[in-house]
């Protein structure tokens, strides 16, 4: 699956700037429509280390009303959180109706990191596919839009980005020993990612693979998918989007 992804896709700087500005304005309008219609939105960002998730989140939210969204950076569960079902800490972070919840890594840690690193038994991570599908089905049945993105880059590109971070005082904090350890298990993570997408990409909560070798292309494609999905879902609710988005320009 991942081997067939075309990582040569690019966008030139002029087109990137034009499309970025236009789409950011569209997202602002759609954000307002979600609020008025009391429809929640959940965006899940997963991907290889240094694949560009943070940059895509930054550009997606750059022109939004900060009162209408919240970004959750997901770390390893705390000792207290481990006393509960693994989905409990995410239930508590679901956005209110009309708002957008953005997850920089998510509940998919159960079938990725926990699987590969042996933090959970095989029977548990295999069972998690069904649990996660049910979790997302509940949300989509209750007026939430669920979108999931996997940011994909090559192993060679990741190494180049790691070295860039290592040599940049402003970015070196992003690179940890854990990142290097994860890289050593690339093939195991690749298998886990492909199983994850195969088992949990559903019509109500689809996975979108983002070609991330060119960061600008990845950002534009991500925003394009969000806009197209929100537009379609809102139109299904008979929302007149001309009140929120200027069609020209």
pLDDT tens digits along 222-246: 999 999 999 999 999 999 999 998 7
Residue 5 lies in a domain: no
Q: Is residue 7 part of a domain?
A: no
The per-residue pLDDT for range 134-192, each reduced to its tens digit, is: 999 999 999 999 999 999 999 999 999 999 999 888 888 888 888 898 999 999 999 99
Q: How many domains does the chain have?
A: 1
| pTM, rounded to two decimals | 0.95
For the chain, first and last CA: distance in Å?
37
Q: Are the CB atoms for 59 and 219 separated by under 8 Å? A: yes
Give a yes or no: residue 4 inside a domain.
Answer: no
Residue 1 resides in a domain: no
Residue of 71, 92, 67 lying closest to 81 (CA atoms):
92
Task: Look at residue 208 and tell me if it is in a domain.
Answer: yes
Residue 248 in any domain: the answer is: no
CA 140 to centroid of chain Cα atoms: 16
Residue 219: domain span? 13-243
The answer to whether position 249 is within a domain reads no
Q: Would residue 167 count as lying in a domain?
A: yes
105: CATH: 3.40.50.300
């Amino acid at each position: 699956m991942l081997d067939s992804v075309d990582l040569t896709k690019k966008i030139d700087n002029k087109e990137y700037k034009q499309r970025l500005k236009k789409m950011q304005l569209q997202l602002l309008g759609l954000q307002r429509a979600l609020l008025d219609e009391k429809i929640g939105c959940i965006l899940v960002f997963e991907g290889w280390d240094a694949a560009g998730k943070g940059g895509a989140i930054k550009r997606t939210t750059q022109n939004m009303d900060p009162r209408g969204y919240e970004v959750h950076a997901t770390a390893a569960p705390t000792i207290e959180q481990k006393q509960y079902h693994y989905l409990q800490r995410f239930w508590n972070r679901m956005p209110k109706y009309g708002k957008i919840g953005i997850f920089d890594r998510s509940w998919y840690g159960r079938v990725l990191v926990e699987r590969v690193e042996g933090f959970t038994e095989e029977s548990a991570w295999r069972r998690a596919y069904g649990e996660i599908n049910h979790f997302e089905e509940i949300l989509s049945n209750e007026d939430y839009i669920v979108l999931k993105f996997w940011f994909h880059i090559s192993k060679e590109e990741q190494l180049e980005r790691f070295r860039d971070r290592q040599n940049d005082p402003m970015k070196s904090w992003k690179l940890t020993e854990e990142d290097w350890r994860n890289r050593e298990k690339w093939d195991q993570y690749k298998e886990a990612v492909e199983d994850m997408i195969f088992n949990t990409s559903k019509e109500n909560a689809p996975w979108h693979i983002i070609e991330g070798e060119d960061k600008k292309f990845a950002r534009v494609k991500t925003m394009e998918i969000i806009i197209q999905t929100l537009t379609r879902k809102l139109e299904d609710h008979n929302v007149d989007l001309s009140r929120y988005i200027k069609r020209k320009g």
